[in-house]
Homo-oligomer: A and B are copies of this chain.
Amino acid sequence: MINFRNDYSEGALPEVLQALTDTNLEATCGYGMDDYCARAADIVRSRFACPTADVHLMVGGTITNRTAISAFLRPWQAAIAVTSAHICQHETGAIEAGGHKILHAAAPDGKLTPDMVRRIMREHHNGHDEHMVQPKLVYISDATELGTIYTKAELTALRAVCDEYGLYLYLDGARLAPALVAESNDLRPEDFAQLCDAFYIGGTKNGLLFGEALVIVNDMLKPDFRHIIKQCGGMFAKGRLLGVQFCAYFEHDLWLSAARHAVLAAQRIARACKQAGYPLLADSPTNQIFPIVSNEKKAELAETFIFEENAPVDETHTAIRFVTSWATKDADVDALVNAL
């Protein structure tokens, strides 16, 4: 079977594993207080041009989202997101378990728009109705759950609407590297630091064993953050494993070359889908492709390839998902392209 299930099926990029091996017997402080974590944080601040940001290296995406949103909001405040958002659908209610409602808007392409934010704000009387939650944080992801990406104009417009209503803008970058290397992308690393109050740079889905780098730009959101990391269970005892991995990740722009490999493979699949006449659920320039195929074709493909079903489209057709990664082999892409 040939695997296009997801981008976290394998272990780590060889350079990352090597760095862990090289440093294995060093003794360092625990809990991320070591020099590797400090260096990784410096690299992030430099690479994203946010010299005063706080950088916290976290183990995974769900705990990063839960910790950040719990820290940023007061009990009566809510997050705004698209209905297909990871926090809305696939975190088993982690945000609500932390006490916060998510107000959501349906977005066919997975992207939140200022109009959606405005409508939600209006429905909640701009946060001034004490019988309703007070929207306070906008959650977006780039790339989105459907592989689509924001343009600089779109992200700037979201920033503006956030400023208009006094909302925080938080960006889930589990797949930020694939977004950055997408052909149509016009956002640079420093734009995220400039436009968001906080965001995280994904590692798990792009070649780290595990790890996401949370960047807090807004000074208001910084105090005592390590307390809540610990409370939420996200403080990693051997924290330097995160530092070591992220140092290797940014060395020679490994994070971008790894993502580029994944995106190129995915775009070959996308072109093959289009040529074969399969419509795509969303116009994804990143490493997830969602062709709509007949249920017969789906069954046929499933004999050779591992992939996920996204959702039934009608009685006889289904949107399926192919995901590529740093570890995807060209020959496997060839096989899929031929089979389509």
Q: Residues of A at under 8 Å CB distance from B?
A: 3, 5-6, 8-12, 14, 17, 20-21, 23-31, 59-64, 66-67, 70-71, 74-76, 78, 89-94, 96-102, 130-134, 204-205, 209-210, 224, 226-238, 241, 327
Residues of chain B contacted by A209 (CB below 8 angstroms): 20, 238, 241
Copies of the protein in its oligomer: 4
Structural contact, B24 and A224, CB atoms closer than 8 A? no
- For A327, the chain B residues whose CB sits under 8 A away are 25, 27
B23 touches A20 (CB 8 A): no
- Per the bound structure, the CA–CA distance linking A105 and B104 in Å amounts to 12
Q: Which residue in B11, B66, B94, B100 is a CB contact (below 8 Å) of A20? A: B11
Contact A76 B92 (CB under 8 A): yes
Contacts of A133 in B (CB 8 A): 92-93, 96, 227, 231
Could you list 20 further interchain pairs (A-B, Cβ under 8 angstroms) beyond the known A14-B24, A21-B21? Answer: A5-B30, A8-B237, A9-B27, A9-B29, A11-B26, A11-B238, A17-B20, A17-B21, A62-B233, A75-B97, A75-B231, A76-B97, A93-B99, A93-B100, A130-B235, A133-B231, A204-B238, A209-B241, A210-B238, A210-B241
Q: How far is the CA of A327 from the CA of B23 in the complex (A)?
A: 13
Contact B17 A3 (CB under 8 A): no
* A96 and B91 form a contact (CB under 8 A): no
CA distance A18 to B5 in the complex (A): 26
Q: Are B89 and A132 in contact (CB under 8 A)?
A: yes
CB closest residue in chain B, given A238: B8
Q: Is the CB of A30 within 8 A of B9?
A: yes
Q: Determine the residue in chain B with the shortest Cβ distance to A311.
A: B123
Flag if B63 contacts A234 (CB, 8 Å): yes
Are the CB atoms of B93 and A76 closer together than 8 Å?
A: yes
Residues of chain B lying within 8 A (CB to CB) of residue A97: 75-76, 99, 231-232
Residues of B within 8 A of A75 (CB): 70-71, 97, 228, 231
Chain B CB within 10 A, most for which of A28, A89, A93:
A93
User: Do A30 and B11 have beta carbons less than 8 Å apart?
Assistant: no
Which of A6, A28, A205, A237 has the most C-beta atoms of chain B within 10 angstroms of its own C-beta?
Answer: A237
From A70, A226, A230, A234, residue with most partner B Cβ within 10 Å: A230
B241 touches A11 (CB 8 A): yes
Smallest Cβ distance from A29 to chain B, in angstroms? Answer: 8
